[in-house]
Structure 1
Amino acid sequence: MKLLSSETKNKVLDSMVSIIDRERETILEANKKDLEAFNKEDQALYDRLVVNDTKIDGMIKAIEEVKNQEDPVDQDISDITLDSGLKITNKTAPFGTIMIIYESRPDVTIEAAVLAFKANNKILLKGGKEALNSNIILEKCWHEALEKNALSKEWIQLLHLKREETQEFLKNPPEKIDLIVPRGGERLIKFVKDNASCAVLISGRGNNFLYVAEDADWEKTVKVIINAKTDKISGCNALDKVLIDKRIPDYENKLKELQAVLTQLNVELVVDYKVGKILTEEEVIKTQDIWFEEFLAMKLLIAEISSEDAAIDMINKFSGGHSAVILTENRALAKQFMQQVDNAAVYHNASTRFTDGGQMGVGAELAISTDKLHHRGPLGLKQLVTNKYYVYGDGHIRV
């Protein structure tokens, strides 16, 4: 796709804001059809599927925020002139064509597309069948905005593919795809990695851990755990595991206090056998596999840990590489933890719920990357470009 001016791209986004606002009722009606057809037993997925006026306001805000950000394309990264006189400039450049595969959330159809388009990428959207009606109307809005500004609908396309067709598409794409981002559970990620024939950037599972150090402020600890666990169970930044240092003062009473607070909030608890000796009425873990599990539910595993080093080892072994927290008043201890834990985001005395593009100052995000190449963490506008070298000579030859 050709390079577009910032003015042209921003005009499309202005049009899109007006169109979405105008089509509120149509979007809500389409989403209602999706919700009526959905099995509500999967509460986390159902929550992600819901579109309401607040969600539509969020879509509009995301578009406006991206429009107001500086165009990330054709920005100088470095500019040097060698002794030979050869001038070498490294600039940002679009990826080309990005494909995103995602489950439920219709707002991804807005956020992913607005980011890709502003970064001058074509985007192929493969949403889940559960959000089909919602995604179709949102795609129509995009196409109207593009055509209103004399641009091809090819910039933003919703793919209508079944599982077998998606598998074939990944193996033998009908056009060149430069990057695929699977955004969902482990089965989806494995499916894409097993079948894709181009670069895959992983938006991995959550399975986020929190370590309560020996000197942690207990009031802060309870506050952070409650927020990280209960604020939004469907978020990949929700808390799943709590490791409590056995050396904390009044250990048993604090465990019982935490149990009482979480139980009152309808959080199901699972405990290791050591904590189970104190919280005798709670379910004790039956298999080590649970340590790898992302719950996406009002469920929390609480375990005893002997030290910060043991907590770091546990997190690096079992977590999804997403977010981890230490509760401590010791800054040196926090620094060591944050340096040693191999996660995309590490926190000192704060909730994992902040691992989000908007909360981290990135704005709208394509996904939270748990990969290390080319970027880790929220994938915002600045992260949806690659780079390109411009080399200027005057008959230079290498000798």
Structure 2
Amino acid sequence: MKLINENLKNNVLDSMINIIGQNRAALLEANKKDLKNFKKDDQALYDRLVVNDSKIDGMIQAISEVRQQDDPVNQEISNTTLDNGLNIVNKTAPFGTIMIIYESRPDVTIEAAVLAFKANNKILLKGGKEAYYSNKILVKFWHQALQENNLKTDWIRMLELNRDETQAFLKNPDEPIDLIVPRGGERLIQFVKENASCAVLISGRGNNFLYVAEDADWKKTLEVIINAKTDKISGCNALDKVLVDKNITNYEAKLKELKQVLESLKVDILVDSKVKETLTSSELIQNEDTWFEEFLAMKIAIGAAGNMDEAISKINKYSGGHSTVILTESPEKAAQFMENIDSAAVYHNASTRFTDGGQMGVGAELAISTDKLHHRGPLGLKQLVTNKYYVYGDGHVCV
């Protein structure tokens, strides 16, 4: 794939910023069509679909932030000269072509494309049908920005495919694809894994846990739980499960206060059999599958833990490997917990809502990866490259 120099890439991004700013009304009008066609039976999906002035400002900011970052391509990772004189240089290199499949969120059409393009990758955008008109006009803006700078529009391409056509495309794409990122729920991820003929990077599934240790500061605990659960229920970094250590002082009184606070915020509560003994009016968890579920709703499950080891074991069994929190005043206990939890992000006395490219200082993100190869956590600009070895010799032969 031909490498584009950094100045030209930044010129395209400047053009895109201007085009969005000048065409706000057209974008809002396109989004109104999507909202009108959407059956508002899934609040989280609806929230993701909405485009307003604030979200447009966020799109422009995302492009601007990526524009200001250094070009991630051709950066030297290592440079070693062996005893035999062979010089081996390892540098960053583009993936090539990335495909992202996502549901509802038009802002992904901005963030995914700006990151892929700045990292010198082509990107294929397969958005959900519910955001068709919003995505269509945003890709039109991208093409205008590319054409203004004498580049082909195939750097950023929108795929207009139904489910069956997508399945066929995954199995036999019309061009080589180097990486696919499914950004959505379990069914989407499984669908892509079953049908893709190239590498798939898993992202998007939350099911995040929070453990309240016996020495937790209760005021901090309530603040963190409220923020992590209610700030944005449609986010994959929202809180789903809380495990409360049975040895915490005033265990029953604190459970009752937690229930009161959450219900005042209109959060539905499910409990395990141990917590049910205290919160007698709360709904009992009937099926183990609930512990695996990402809610994406004003709903939370509360369970009891006999100790930290029990909490760690339960979290590693059921969580989505996204974000996990411990509330404790002991740095030693926090370190032990964080080192033994198998999640992309682990927190001590802080909300899961920080698992976000912008909040973590990464900037715009393609997704939050819960895979262990090649990267875990927010996929920002620096993570959208692979590597390549440059080996320099002088007639060297291997013996």
Shorter-chain TM band: over 0.9
- Cα distance, 1:395 vs structure 2: 1.0
Cα distance in 1 for residues equivalent to 2:398 and 2:255: 70
Cα distance in 1 for residues equivalent to 2:277 and 2:202: 39
Cα distance in 2 for residues equivalent to 1:85 and 1:305: 59
1:118 corresponds in structure 2 to 118
1:101 corresponds in structure 2 to 101
Contact 1:345 1:377 in 2 (8 A): yes
Matched, 1:19 2:19: yes
Matched, 1:43 2:43: yes
- Cα distance, 1:274 vs structure 2: 1.1
1:394 corresponds in structure 2 to 394
Contact 1:204 1:321 in 2 (8 A): no
Any idea what SS the aligned residue of 2:104 has?
coil
Cα distance in 1 for residues equivalent to 2:256 and 2:122: 53
Cα distance in 2 for residues equivalent to 1:386 and 1:278: 52
Cα distance in 2 for residues equivalent to 1:153 and 1:174: 16
Cα distance in 1 for residues equivalent to 2:394 and 2:317: 54
1:328 corresponds in structure 2 to 328
- Cα distance, 1:140 vs structure 2: 0.3
Any idea what SS the aligned residue of 1:32 has?
helix
- Cα distance, 1:396 vs structure 2: 1.0
Superposition RMSD in Å: 0.5
2:85 corresponds in structure 1 to 85
Contact 2:63 2:114 in 1 (8 A): yes
Cα distance in 2 for residues equivalent to 1:260 and 1:398: 72
Matched, 1:239 2:217: no
1:10 corresponds in structure 2 to 10
Cα distance in 2 for residues equivalent to 1:387 and 1:222: 44
Cα distance in 2 for residues equivalent to 1:239 and 1:29: 33
Cα distance in 2 for residues equivalent to 1:329 and 1:283: 31
Count the aligned residue pairs: 399
2:178 corresponds in structure 1 to 178
Contact 2:119 2:384 in 1 (8 A): yes
1:255 corresponds in structure 2 to 255
1:203 corresponds in structure 2 to 203
Cα distance in 2 for residues equivalent to 1:18 and 1:55: 16
Cα distance in 2 for residues equivalent to 1:122 and 1:207: 31
Cα distance in 2 for residues equivalent to 1:216 and 1:81: 52
Query: What residue ranges of structure 2 are gaps of 5+ in the alignment?
Result: none
Cα distance in 2 for residues equivalent to 1:274 and 1:317: 19
2:226 corresponds in structure 1 to 226
- Cα distance, 1:188 vs structure 2: 0.3
Cα distance in 1 for residues equivalent to 2:200 and 2:41: 31
Cα distance in 1 for residues equivalent to 2:175 and 2:157: 13
Cα distance in 1 for residues equivalent to 2:219 and 2:145: 50
Cα distance in 2 for residues equivalent to 1:245 and 1:81: 55
Matched, 1:299 2:299: yes
Contact 1:204 1:320 in 2 (8 A): no
Query: What residue ranges of structure 1 are gaps of 5+ in the alignment?
Result: none
Any idea what SS the aligned residue of 1:287 has?
coil
Any idea what SS the aligned residue of 1:240 has?
strand
- Cα distance, 1:215 vs structure 2: 0.2
- Cα distance, 1:210 vs structure 2: 0.1
Any idea what SS the aligned residue of 1:46 has?
helix
Any idea what SS the aligned residue of 2:2 has?
coil
2:53 corresponds in structure 1 to 53
- Cα distance, 1:32 vs structure 2: 0.5
Spell out the pairing of 1:64-83 with structure 2 (5 A cutoff): 64-83=64-83
- Cα distance, 1:362 vs structure 2: 0.3
Cα distance in 2 for residues equivalent to 1:204 and 1:51: 20
Cα distance in 1 for residues equivalent to 2:398 and 2:307: 58
User: What is the CA deviation profile of residues 146-179 of structure 1, one whole-angstrom value per residue up to 9, with x for unaligned ones?
Assistant: 0000000000000000100000100011110000
1:192 corresponds in structure 2 to 192
- Cα distance, 1:43 vs structure 2: 0.1
Q: Displaced runs of 4+ in structure 1, greater than 4 A?
A: none
Any idea what SS the aligned residue of 2:243 has?
strand
- Which one-letter code corresponds to 2:23 in the other structure? E
- Cα distance, 1:41 vs structure 2: 1.5
- Cα distance, 1:352 vs structure 2: 0.2
Any idea what SS the aligned residue of 1:326 has?
strand
Contact 2:228 2:351 in 1 (8 A): yes
Cα distance in 1 for residues equivalent to 2:212 and 2:90: 45
Cα distance in 1 for residues equivalent to 2:285 and 2:179: 39
User: What is the CA deviation profile of residues 350-384 of structure 1, one whole-angstrom value per residue up to 9, with x for unaligned ones?
Assistant: 00000000000000000000000000000000000
Cα distance in 2 for residues equivalent to 1:133 and 1:362: 29
TM-score (norm 1): 1.00
Any idea what SS the aligned residue of 1:216 has?
coil
Contact 2:204 2:367 in 1 (8 A): no
Cα distance in 1 for residues equivalent to 2:371 and 2:166: 23
TM-score (norm 2): 1.00
- Which one-letter code corresponds to 2:243 in the other structure? L
Cα distance in 2 for residues equivalent to 1:61 and 1:129: 26
Contact 1:100 1:126 in 2 (8 A): yes
Cα distance in 1 for residues equivalent to 2:344 and 2:325: 12
Any idea what SS the aligned residue of 1:214 has?
coil
Spell out the pairing of 1:315-354 with structure 2 (5 A cutoff): 315-354=315-354
1:312 corresponds in structure 2 to 312
- Which one-letter code corresponds to 1:162 in the other structure? N
Cα distance in 2 for residues equivalent to 1:295 and 1:168: 30
1:383 corresponds in structure 2 to 383
Cα distance in 2 for residues equivalent to 1:96 and 1:142: 19
- Cα distance, 1:204 vs structure 2: 4.0
- Which one-letter code corresponds to 1:178 in the other structure? D
